[in-house]
Amino acid sequence: MNILITGGAGFIGSHVVKHFVTKYPAYHIYNLDALTYAGNLENLQSISDKPNYTFVKGDIKDIPFVNDLFEKYRFKAVIHLAAESHVDRSITNPNAFIETNVLGTTNLLNAFNKLWKANFDGKQFYHISTDEVYGSLGKTGLFTEKTSYDPQSPYAASKAASDHMVRSFGNTFGMPYKISNCSNNYGPNQFPEKLIPLFIHNIQNSIELPVYGDGQYTRDWLYVTDHVLAIDTIFHKGKKGETYNVGGLNEWTNIDLIHLLCEQLDRKLNKPKGTSAKLIRFVKDRAGHDKRYAIDASKIQAELDWKPQVTFEEGLSKTVDWYLQNLSWLKNVTSGVYQEYYKKMYG
Ligand code: NAD
Ligand code: DAU
């Protein structure tokens, strides 16, 4: 079976591709990625020679290219991760998020629909989304699959719109789809614009740690391979037309998480206790910053028997070790254009 995975050179996508290529030799995995600043073929070195894997460089915004690709390989299933994914970038350039996340997703839906509308049996379009579509929580409560959409950032709004487009193709054309909305992922290969890898990189290089606002914002963290197992489970056992929330059951305020990270790095780098924490600086808050995200994952737990396997201490320690052992990866992705981004973003 030919399966298209989009965004497979990015953080989560590369873990998904590696998992599917290795675990399912009967599937042929086509990884479609535009290799934006966030896509990196180094993430896929371990599987690049496998006979059931093909990388295709291309842009989901390019309609003729997308249509030709679907006609050529007749993908029976799509796992769609390609996206502009960083909230801060969506504040400075919202259009890029509409173009890839909304129009790009719609291009994939059109191509899949055109190919299979006569017979959708055994086909599926699986869209990977985020908990940010639900907006921001107060001190209590959790996001369930029934929580109303209330996106607050241009990134979240573009992901919400893409979710709506997927459901509309299900409703209008009978397209078999699935959607999952996941909380914050962390782990190896995450681009160092996101909190955890950015702060690991900064601590290693004795650069200040820019904490937005008062640092009391809360996120629900999930180790990336647990998200991959959730995607595998939903892909194989999830019901068509259903949505599943995926989360770590693991809430941290940013400032507590940062202190834990600082303690781990002091230990691993043999620095005196308290050295890394001295780099903490409270800076101007993110515009429209969502206060708290937290997922109720009881549906996927009860119906599909998925739950996180990796504890936060273990996952964070593995993540820090990976970055310390892969200095060349970090060096490659933080050269050139990254320096300009950093200057513009943090001064
Ligand atoms: P990422 O930014 O690391 O990777 C995105 C990938 O998509 C990159 O390889 C990039 O080259 C590719 N891409 C971007 N625009 C493209 C285009 N126009 N055509 C083809 N490829 C393109 O993102 P990530 O953190 O791995 O997130 C993957 C997906 O999971 C996204 O859809 C995101 O919304 C969702 N998600 C992420 C998280 C998280 O915490 N990172 C949580 C929940 C959901
Ligand atoms: O919840 C899922 C989402 O999690 C995904 O859909 C997004 O793709 C992903 O980027 C992530 O969004 P966040 O905005 O929560 O992640 P980020 O790592 O950018 O920020 C995490 C928290 O840390 C947030 O409260 C902002 C704060 N932060 C972030 C950065 C980059 C800082 O205080 N300083 C920083 O420099």
Domains and CATH numbers, the chain: 2-185+223-246 (3.40.50.720)
Bridge partners, residue 29, by sequence: 3, 53
pLDDT of residue 343: 93
Residues with a catalytic annotation lie at 131-132, 155
Report CA(196)–ligand 2 centroid distance (Å).
9
Distance separating alpha carbons of residues 322 and 320, to the nearest angstrom: 5
Closest CA to 203 of 192, 212, 219: 192
Structure tokens at 82: 């390609």
DSSP 192: T
Give the closest residue (by CA) to ligand 1 atom 1: 10
pLDDT, position 246: 98
Q: Tell me if 304 sits within 8 A of 237, measured CB to CB.
A: yes
Q: What is the pLDDT of residue 347?
A: 86
Q: Report DSSP state, residue 295.
A: B
For residue 14, give the nearest of 47, 57, 52 by alpha carbon: 47
Show the tokens assigned to 78.
Answer: 């799509």
pLDDT at 223: 98
Please indicate, yes or no, whether the overall pTM of this predicted structure exceeds 0.75.
yes
Residues with C-beta less than 6 Å from any ligand 1 atom: 7, 9-13, 33-36, 38-39, 59-61, 81-85, 100, 104, 128, 130, 159, 182, 184-185, 191
E strand spans, the chain: 2-6, 28-33, 53-57, 77-80, 124-130, 177-182, 184-186, 209-212, 218-223, 242-246, 251-253, 280-283
**Listed residue (56, 47, 54, 7) closest to 23, CA to CA:** 47
Backbone angles phi, psi at 234, to 5 degrees: -65, -40
CB contact at 8 A, 292 and 138: yes
**One-letter amino acid for residue 141 of the chain:** G
Instruction: For residue 293, give the ligand 2 atom closest to its CA.
Output: 1
- pLDDT tens-digit profile, the chain (347 residues): 999 999 999 999 999 999 999 999 999 999 999 999 999 999 999 999 999 999 999 999 999 999 999 999 999 999 999 999 999 999 999 999 999 999 999 999 999 999 999 999 999 999 999 999 999 999 999 999 999 999 999 999 999 999 999 999 999 999 999 999 999 999 999 999 999 999 999 999 999 999 999 999 999 999 999 999 999 999 999 999 999 999 998 999 999 999 999 999 999 999 999 999 999 999 999 999 999 999 999 999 999 999 999 999 999 999 999 999 999 999 999 988 999 999 999 98
Per-residue pLDDT, 212: 98
Residues with beta carbon inside 6 Å of ligand 2? 85-87, 130-132, 183-184, 194-195, 198, 210-212, 217, 219, 254, 286, 293
Strands 251-253, 218-223: pairing is antiparallel
71 in Cβ contact with 115 (< 8 Å)? yes
Mean pLDDT rounded to a whole number for the chain? 98
Query: Each residue of 175-226: pLDDT tens digit?
Result: 999 999 999 999 999 999 999 999 999 999 999 999 999 999 999 999 999 9
CA dihedral 216, 219, 225, 228 (to 10 degrees): -160
Q: To the nearest whole percent, how much of the chain has pLDDT over 90?
A: 99
